[in-house]
Amino acid sequence: MSFLLKSTKERADVWGALFRSELPDLPFHVWPETGNPEDVQFLATWEPPPDLLTTFPNLEVIFSVGAGVDQFDMTRIPDHVTIIRMIESGLTDGMVEYVNWAVLTLHRDILAYVRQQRQHEWKPVHNKIASQRRVGVMGMGTLGSPVASALAGAGFLCSGWSRSRHEVEGVTSYAGPDELDAFLAASEILVCLLPLTDATRGILNASLFSRLPKGAQIVNVARGAHLVVPDLIAALDSGQLSAAILDVTSPEPLPADSPLWDDQRVLITPHVASVSQTETAGRVLLDTVRRYLAGERNFHSMVDRSKGY
């Protein structure tokens, strides 16, 4: 049996050294060098090679090196293969940091001041303080819950919405489709941290925007395909929304002719909100493989194929 990594050189160097020293009996290969493909028991990758089934007939576990698994075509991964996604502290910390920045940027109207600066315009706007600002986090999972907790800790009136109810101190909890409207009505700044599934694709659309308070602002740090771009632009034009920070687009990179590039109500970052940190993620990977080799089969980072995340 062996472990195969298909990722960056930095990860290959650091994780290779870690695995070789801590699990010397498990051969560690770095794509495109696979060793004997029949020996590959574990594969860690962002995107699996196209001919996964035939190339690695004895594959048991596929790890996503990121938090999401929407890039995996589940129909091509045999049922007996366990899918495990990345849950690690560095990834969470990075997301908390980015969303704090994005929410503060919108909360303090910084996009408007950047526009004013370009016009040499000095026009202060009376601003609220955090305890007067309602922020909603869609998706209260591994990333959404600590994000909401940090926003509440910074003083915002924070709510969270997910499929099942998550109680987080200082955060008002909403769950399921029946409570979505009440959640949206309480979200002047809406943060999307949902996984991309059939149920959530296109969820940031005209209907949802119309249920937010007038002039609401959005932060999308989940996936570009959650957002219907023409609906966003129409909502910005009508004043239903006033600004958006988008870390993700569909497709990526954002095409050169996208109207989003030059829209001064929109701030775009190139999918940098958070990434798996090499040191901490390597330790998590090693720990999971060790536990798997010891016979454990239940991991909280295991993907539920029926839910798609």
Q: Which residues are catalytic?
A: 223, 271
Give the total of residues touching ligand NDP (CB under 6 A): 30
Interface residue with ligand NDP, options 44, 67, 102, 171 (CB under 6 A): 67
Q: In what order do the strands lie in the sheet with 2-6?
A: 28-30, 2-6, 40-45, 61-64, 82-84
Most distant CA atoms of the chain, gap in Å: 67
Instruction: Show the site string, 1-30: x = touches ligand NDP by CB under 6 A, - = not.
Output: ------------------------------
Instruction: Show the site string, 162-201: x = touches ligand NDP by CB under 6 A, - = not.
Output: xxx-x--------------------------xxxxx-xx-
- For residues 219 and 99, is the Cβ–Cβ distance under 8 A? yes
Q: How far is the CB of 65 from ligand NDP (least distance, A)?
A: 11
Nearest-CB residue for ligand NDP: 141
Under the binding rule (CB under 6 A), the answer on residue 141 touching ligand NDP is: yes
**Between residues 196 and 235, which has the closer beta carbon with respect to ligand NDP?**
196
Interface residue with ligand NDP, options 82, 105, 142, 187 (CB under 6 A): 142
> Of 48-56, 104-112, 219-227, 279-287, which segment contacts ligand NDP by CB under 6 A?
219-227
Pick from 185, 173, 225, 177: nearest CA to 209: 185
Under the binding rule (CB under 6 A), the answer on residue 68 touching ligand NDP is: yes
Q: How far is it, in rounded angstroms, from Cα 244 to Cα 260?
A: 10
Q: How far is the CB of 294 from ligand NDP (least distance, A)?
A: 25
Tokens of 161: 């919405």
**Between residues 116 and 269, which has the closer beta carbon with respect to ligand NDP?**
269
Q: How far is it, in rounded angstroms, from Cα 285 to Cα 93?
A: 18
Pick from 307, 304, 239: nearest CA to 85: 304
- Across 177-216, b (16+ Cβ under 10 Å) vs e yields eeebeebbebbbbbbbbbbbeeebbebbbeebbeebeeeb
- For strands 157-162 and 216-220, give the pairing: unpaired
Pick from 44, 88, 83: nearest CA to 281: 88
**Between residues 140 and 157, which has the closer beta carbon with respect to ligand NDP?**
140
Binding site residues, ligand NDP, CB under 6 A: 66-68, 95, 139-144, 162-164, 166, 193-197, 199-200, 221-223, 247-248, 271, 273-274, 309
